[in-house]
Structure 1
Amino acid sequence: MYQPSEEFSFDPEYPEGLTKVGIPCLTRAQVHAIRVYDFFSGCGGTSAGLQNAGMVPIVALDMDGEALETFRLNFPDAHAIKSDIRTVLTRDLEPYFERQRTVPILFSACAPCQPFSKQNRQKKEADARISLLTELTRFLERFRPELLFVENVPGLQEFSEDEDGPLHDLVTVLDRLGYWHTARVILAQDYGVPQNRRRLVLVASAFGPIDLPEQTHGPGRAPYRTVWDAIGHLPHLEAGESDTSVPNHYACKLSPLNLERIRAVGEGGGRLAWDERLQLDCHRTVKGYSDVYGRMSWGKPSPALTTRCISLSNGRFGHPEQDRAISIREAACIQTFPKDFIFVGTVNGMARQIGNAVPPDLATSIGKALIEHVDKYWSNTDG
């Protein structure tokens, strides 16, 4: 396990003679061992992807105890800290940094996105979670990471158009500290995730101008990955069953009526295929909510997974042909978690962990681009 320093004397005013970001001549091995500090880590989707790119997870900070248990299981060499970021002082994290920095560090942050989601209909001004991303700026100012990766729903950008929003606060601090940065809304399916998931991604660097990587999938590139690509290999399940040969391959039970409902729906279909007897009273007078009780399509990316992605009644989360909602493992596969990534906690807790996570394959694409970015800097200053 990475051992934190017993003492800490970090000085953001780097000694004379070092590079602009305070790191002496980097070796290629150091460039490819960027240390990751994962704020709002959840179960570790970002860390899994960045680790796959070649980075080293050091610290995870989150207040979700179940998610952190999953993180600890899958990242035994990292430090998982259960705490609300609003109660954490910058000095509390000092022991987890090198006394004299020799390797670049990256801060990642995927603050809870529900306050900025279109599905959240409560008054946003009353949601205390809105300030969480702004809390990150304290740690940026104190520790000056060389790299930053932020991921959230596109609504964060829309909510932050005024001068009081968390994205505006973050960008203001980045500008003041001299970071180069860029942000835009991307499609996760453009980066190999078999899911129609729109996300706002921001990257920042102390090294030089930076951009997001080019998409890897889509027209003229590799074909989009589909639901079949993600879960077509998994064993058959009935509703309420599990298959112990595959970790977390469990599908929730369905009532007799809901079994009738899913059996009345074909691949890619939804509740509009039901006869009158199967309709819900709450849907009789509205035209929306056509995705609920729906099935995914084998040949397309899935809809965006939510924290209730294993519930038939909460979206188009039905298996394309088996009469049930997708299993925990199937949801994890659609989010591109590795097959040996194990989830722990309650069934609903595991679904929440998966739905909240950054898809690891998306984080890998970002991570590889950031390593190339630092490698370019290294090659320009070496020798």
Structure 2
Amino acid sequence: MEEKLKRVDVVIATPPCQGMSVANHKKKEQEIIRNSLVVESIKIIKKVRPRFFVLENVPAFMKTICTDIDGVNKPISEAIQNNLGGFYSYIAQLINFKNYGACSSRQRTVVIGVANDYADEISPMELFPDFVEEKTLRDVIGGLPALKEFGEIDHTDIYHSFRMYPEHMREWIMDLDEGESAFDNEDDKKKTHQIKDGKLIINQQKNGDKYRRQIWDKVGPCIHTRNDQLASQNTIRPEDDRVFSIRELMLMMTVPHDFKWVDQSFDDLNQMSLTDKRKFLKKEEIKIRQSLGEAVPTVIFQQIAHKMKAVLQNPPLSTAEINKIVSGRAFNNTEELIEFINKNPLNLPISALSRIAELSNTKRTDNAAFFTSKSLITEMMKNLPVIEKKKVKILEPSVGVGNFIPLIIEKFKDKDVELDLVDIDADNMEVLNAILGKYNIPENIKIRYIVDDFLLHSFEEMYDYVIGNLPFFKMKSSDKLLSKYKEAAINKETTNICSFFLDKAELIGNYVMLVFPKFLLNTPEFEETRTYISKKAVECIIDFGEKGFPGVLIETIAIFINNMAKPNKTRVFSYPRQIRLLQKQKYILDNKLPYWIIYRNEKFDEELKKLKFDVFTVFRDRQIKNRV
């Protein structure tokens, strides 16, 4: 039936994962077909074109093979990219729900997509749930009454009951301390066993989390579908000789207390006789428990939904609308602009405030300070690896109005971050401070503002990351700073300031991710730069074409350089054409060729064999001449 909807806000899909789960020990080729139910979700998203989409599944989700719409078996990540990449900015993250408000250790892949017409307003990275401190079992279920007797039901809560099991099994768990398993019992009679032909045969311990008592002061375990059985994974309470009750599972999975599992109200269920309560649980308990085992903790999607709602209440402003606000306000000085940002009289989203600040900067042409769209930053952050260190130092060498900062914070929100922001323009820094004041910046993110010339500033320590969008313009030979910049430069053949920024970033950063003009790949003045970079690990090159900066017709790339690794493979992504390649670095950065050929392939090589080199001298004429 066709629904008369102008546009759907969000599609959420958590397709069956039996073919992906590590708990499934009996995978077969037919599971590819089952995994292909994911493709049905992709089809719906592709047809309906919601403003947002959310996919959730097991950790191996993106790597798992499915049968795509075109009938070809491929990883789910490729199916998403091929069908949705041209219409959505999306991010896939592996998160443990225990770090985002749930009391259940549950690692899952969550994919969030934002339609292109919203992607410069909000990044999918900003829609993920917020990091919170873990909650222990004692915090979450410690206040519930103890249940000691088989079949006991809390008289105030039908869902808090002692699920019965064969009574002889109680001896296996009754003496266990927290964290101990029935297999740890010294007495063989208290280990899980069977009696065959009068002989006691101890069961095999296939999984160490079976018949194991949980620990009060640790986060709750992952909730599985067979949470009704002692023999299943991590089902036994820290106290009481039983599995977790439905109410305890609901609390661990953040399901609201008044959630209606059946048509009857909670009060009506509690007023039933004990006999009727037991009949009800016999009929409904397993279904409820299995639903909880299949569920996503409600607090996860609740946070995502609240963030999406906030975006929908403030729909994106067009460039024309932003320009109208800027021209209508005509800020005379930095103080007026900062006052506008602080008061936000039009109740604009923060991204719009950043755009207004950038367009109001009269020095932006002089300093080559141009707005970097959020969708492009999202793509860069998607490809930026995260090191294992708990504490990281990050530098933004030319921060401007801070377009990178919100997504840097999102990317590293679970680490202790020292974030140094550098800009030569003091007014820029004041405006940036006002804009960042609108964000709820976590306490683990420490920001330091450095008003100075990055190229002349003395940095005492190395940074784990140097991330940013470099200024790029040719310096005049008469500029007094040019000789100073060249003293420390690796490439002394160019006068483009972006080259000097890149050279210094390379010296102080372990991992460098920078936006750079695309002429890095193929102009003679950057031959020396290409030579020394090719000896490093160039892990990724994103080709933005002319889509890098709104209103600026210059092609740009993002280059990712790992100074701690050896050259190996390079991921190449064409943003305009949505082409992704994995290339051997020495193949596309071949020193036998004058330029880097990032899209090099067999067809190119076939033509290359037919060519003779050093035959012509080339002059590129860009002069515009009047017709005589």
TM superposition score normalised by structure 2: 0.42
Q: In the alignment, which residue of structure 2 is the partner of 1:248?
A: 159
Counterpart pick for 1:361 among 299, 304, 307: 299
**TM-fit CA distance, 1:332:** 1.3
Contact 1:192/1:362 (<8 A) preserved: yes
Contact 1:343/1:350 (<8 A) preserved: yes
Counterpart AA for 1:194: C
Deviates more, 1:249-258 or 1:207-216: 207-216
Q: In the alignment, which residue of structure 1 is the partner of 2:102?
A: 193
Counterpart pick for 1:260 among 145, 164, 171: 171
Return the alpha-carbon distance in structure 2 between the equivalents of residues 200 and 229 of structure 1. Answer: 26
Alignment deviations for residues 77-125 of structure 1 (CA, whole Å, 9 cap, x no partner): xxxxxxxxxxxxxxx3x22x42x34xx5100001112221111012242
Counterpart AA for 2:140: A
Contact 2:42/2:80 (<8 A) preserved: yes
Aligned length: 282
Q: Percent identity?
A: 27
Describe the shift of the 1:158–1:264 C-alpha distance in structure 2 as closer, same or farther (beyond 3 A): farther
Describe the shift of the 1:347–1:175 C-alpha distance in structure 2 as closer, same or farther (beyond 3 A): same
Return the alpha-carbon distance in structure 1 between the equivalents of residues 299 and 158 of structure 2. Answer: 20
Contact 1:191/1:365 (<8 A) preserved: no
Contact 2:99/2:133 (<8 A) preserved: no
SS of residue in 1 equivalent to 2:307:
helix
Does residue 1:115 correspond to 2:4, yes or no?
Answer: no
Contact 1:308/1:314 (<8 A) preserved: yes
Contact 1:181/1:202 (<8 A) preserved: yes
Counterpart AA for 1:118: V
Counterpart pick for 1:150 among 55, 65, 74: 55
C-alpha root-mean-square deviation of aligned residues, in Å? 2.6
Q: In the alignment, which residue of structure 2 is the partner of 1:43?
A: none
Q: In the alignment, which residue of structure 2 is the partner of 1:126?
A: 30
Q: How does 1:205-244 map to 2 (within 5 A)?
A: 205-206=114-115, 207-208=118-119, 209-213=123-127, 216-217=130-131, 222-237=132-147, 238-244=149-155
Q: In the alignment, which residue of structure 2 is the partner of 1:310?
A: 228
Q: Which has more strand, going by share of residues?
A: 2
User: Which structure has the larger Rg?
Assistant: 2
SS of residue in 1 equivalent to 2:303:
helix
Describe the shift of the 1:124–1:226 C-alpha distance in structure 2 as closer, same or farther (beyond 3 A): farther
TM superposition score normalised by structure 1: 0.67
Does residue 1:276 correspond to 2:188, yes or no?
Answer: yes
**TM-fit CA distance, 1:330:** 1.0
Return the alpha-carbon distance in structure 1 between the equivalents of residues 231 and 308 of structure 2. Answer: 39
Describe the shift of the 1:213–1:124 C-alpha distance in structure 2 as closer, same or farther (beyond 3 A): farther
Q: In the alignment, which residue of structure 1 is the partner of 2:268?
A: none
Describe the shift of the 1:330–1:285 C-alpha distance in structure 2 as closer, same or farther (beyond 3 A): closer
SS of residue in 1 equivalent to 2:109:
strand
Contact 2:227/2:293 (<8 A) preserved: yes
Alignment deviations for residues 278-307 of structure 1 (CA, whole Å, 9 cap, x no partner): 223599585642211112211111111110
Alignment deviations for residues 239-277 of structure 1 (CA, whole Å, 9 cap, x no partner): 322224124223320222211112021122222322211
Return the alpha-carbon distance in structure 1 between the equivalents of residues 105 and 305 of structure 2. Answer: 21
- Unpaired runs of 5+ residues, structure 1, are 1-91
Q: In the alignment, which residue of structure 2 is the partner of 1:168?
A: 78
Counterpart pick for 1:336 among 248, 254, 262: 254
Return the alpha-carbon distance in structure 2 between the equivalents of residues 324 and 285 of structure 1. Answer: 20
Alignment deviations for residues 316-353 of structure 1 (CA, whole Å, 9 cap, x no partner): 11111111111111111111101111324632211110
Return the alpha-carbon distance in structure 1 between the equivalents of residues 224 and 260 of structure 2. Answer: 19
Contact 2:35/2:65 (<8 A) preserved: no
SS of residue in 2 equivalent to 1:181:
strand
Return the alpha-carbon distance in structure 1 between the equivalents of residues 229 and 203 of structure 2. Answer: 23
Q: In the alignment, which residue of structure 2 is the partner of 1:351?
A: 289
Return the alpha-carbon distance in structure 2 between the equivalents of residues 172 and 295 of structure 1. Answer: 46
Return the alpha-carbon distance in structure 1 between the equivalents of residues 162 and 155 of structure 2. Answer: 12
Contact 2:211/2:235 (<8 A) preserved: yes
Deviates more, 1:236-245 or 1:325-334: 236-245
SS of residue in 1 equivalent to 2:79:
helix
Describe the shift of the 1:379–1:166 C-alpha distance in structure 2 as closer, same or farther (beyond 3 A): same
Q: In the alignment, which residue of structure 2 is the partner of 1:38?
A: none
Return the alpha-carbon distance in structure 2 between the equivalents of residues 185 and 179 of structure 1. Answer: 19
Alignment deviations for residues 138-188 of structure 1 (CA, whole Å, 9 cap, x no partner): 222221111001111112123249952344323321114x11101010010
